[in-house]
Amino acid sequence: MNISSASAGDQAGTIVAENLTKVFFSTARVPGPLGAVRSLIHPRRVATTAVDGVGFRIEPGRLAAFLGPNGAGKSTTIKMLTGILTPTGGRVEVNGLVPHKARIANARLVGAVFGQRSQLWWDLPAIDSLRVLADIHGVPPAELRVRLARFDRILELSAFWDNRARQLSLGQRVRCDLAAALIHDPPVLYLDEPTIGMDVVVKEQVREFLREQVEQRGRTVVLTTHDMTEVERLAGRVILINSGRIVYDGDLDGLRATHADAQDPTDLEAIMRHAFTADTDQDLDTLDMEQAVPAG
């Protein structure tokens, strides 16, 4: 698909990637004191391809889950979609914009939560952080009140948002970070392992919130996770990525059909193991997946 032609008619919330590639360069260190001197005089540059020719299109108001082992390239892909990382090659358009080139415009149209990395100010009550972020995004006070009330209805933030971020539990902080990411009401939301380390109750609360954002608000959500329950409950579409390449892109039923010869074709975790062992001999201990629970 040609992005330039696709972008003209794309709606807000559309995400398109074409042959997206990211190569990181680093200096290889030779062990030992002499090696350190050699590295200083003759540094050997090493190229690592984190994402290798990834392409997909996500329509507005859909939730797509990026799945893959640690180091597969999921987070790097998301960071290129957000515009934080500049791709080495290929093209990306989100909301009809090239994110890393139009960072200011892009920032108004996307929100993100990167795992346990919080954008709340450590020594401020969470509500103050949300107010400051609303100011940074230019959200009018009346609109802010409506949005905070909406977030509070499902995420129950008012029970703890007077506490400083440093005093919040992980689950409380991530819920506040979800509100922070959506304070400016962006059409696109990126979530990089948002529920990692959370207890089951909070996870369910976050899932409910995400479901509402997609189904009621029509937000496009891109999610990376190792939690198969989350995938079963939320994702209409899964994109499997391994060693920087897409190995599957489609719905869950298609994935099950493709890997019908997995040990237990009803168990998503077993299907994942099958998919990734078929693709590489990677050590699947790194998958760190939870037991899948069938949908419904």
Partner 1 sequence: MTLAAIDPPQLQRQSRRQSQRAWRAARVTLLAEFNQWGRVGSVLFMLLARTCLCFWLWQALYRSTSTSAGMNRSQATTYALLGVFYMSFRSVNRWANRDMMVQHMLDGTIAYWFLRPVTPRRYYCVRALGDLAYGGAWAALAYTVCRSTGLIAAPVSAAAGLGAAGSLVLGLAILYYLQQLIDLACFWTVVNFQLVVMYGIVQNVLAGALVPLWFFPGWFVGFDRWLPFQGTLNVPLSLYLGVLPMSGLVRDLALQAGWIALLAVLTALVWRRAGARVTVLGG
- Indicate whether 283 belongs to the interface with partner 1 (CB under 8 A): no
The binding track of 167-196 with respect to partner 1, each residue x by CB under 8 A or -, is -----------------xxxx----x----
Residue 220 binds to partner 1 (criterion: CB under 8 A): yes
For tokens 């609360």, the residue is 205
47 counts as binding partner 1 under rule CB under 8 A: no
Cα Rg of the chain (Å, integer): 20
Which of 58, 64, 67, 109: binder of partner 1 (CB under 8 A)?
Answer: 109
Candidates 6, 23, 30, 107; binder of partner 1 (CB under 8 A) is 107
Among the candidate windows 106-114, 144-152, 200-208, 242-250, which touches partner 1 by CB under 8 A?
106-114
Q: How many whole angstroms separate alpha carbon 32 and alpha carbon 28?
A: 13
Yes or no: say if 147 and 131 are a contact pair by the CB < 8 Å rule: no
Q: Residue for token digits 């979530």? A: 191
Helices (H), the chain: 3-7, 33-41, 74-82, 103-109, 126-136, 141-155, 170-181, 200-215, 228-234, 252-258, 268-279
Q: Which of 17, 81, 85, 130 binds partner 1 (CB under 8 A)?
A: 85
Residue 191 contacts by C-beta under 8 Å, 6 or more apart in sequence?
112, 113, 210, 221, 222, 223, 224, 225
Q: 31, 33, 138, 296: which one contacts partner 1 (CB under 8 A)?
A: 138
Distances (CA, A) of 54 to 236, 293, 294: 20, 29, 29
Q: Does 61 bind partner 1 (CB under 8 A)?
A: yes
Stretch that binds partner 1, among 8-16, 147-155, 202-210, 271-279 (CB under 8 A): 8-16
Residue 122 in the binding site for partner 1 (CB under 8 A)? yes
Residue 188: CB minimum distance to partner 1, A: 9
Query: By CB under 8 A, how many residues form the interface with partner 1?
Result: 59
**Is 226 or 259 the residue whose CB approaches partner 1 more closely?**
226
Nearest C-alpha neighbor of 267 from the set 229, 225, 233? 229
**Binding segment for partner 1 among 72-80, 197-205, 229-237, 282-290 (CB under 8 A)?**
72-80
Verify binding: residue 252, partner 1, rule CB under 8 A: no
Does position 40 interact with partner 1 (CB under 8 A)? The reply is no
- What binding mask, one character per residue, do residues 11-30 give for partner 1 by CB under 8 A, x or -? xxx----------x------
DSSP 8-class letter at 49:
E
How far the first Cα of the chain sits from its last, in Å, is 35
DSSP labels, 112-165: EEETTB--S-TTSBHHHHHHHHHHHTT--HHHHHHHHHHHHHHH-GGGTTTSBG
Q: Counting contacts by CB under 8 A, is residue 229 touching partner 1?
A: no
Is 225 one of the binding residues for partner 1 (CB under 8 A)?
no
Binding site for partner 1 (CB under 8 A): 10-13, 24, 60-61, 70-71, 75-76, 79, 82-86, 95-97, 102-105, 107-112, 114-115, 117-119, 121-125, 128, 132-133, 135-138, 164, 166, 184-187, 192, 216-220
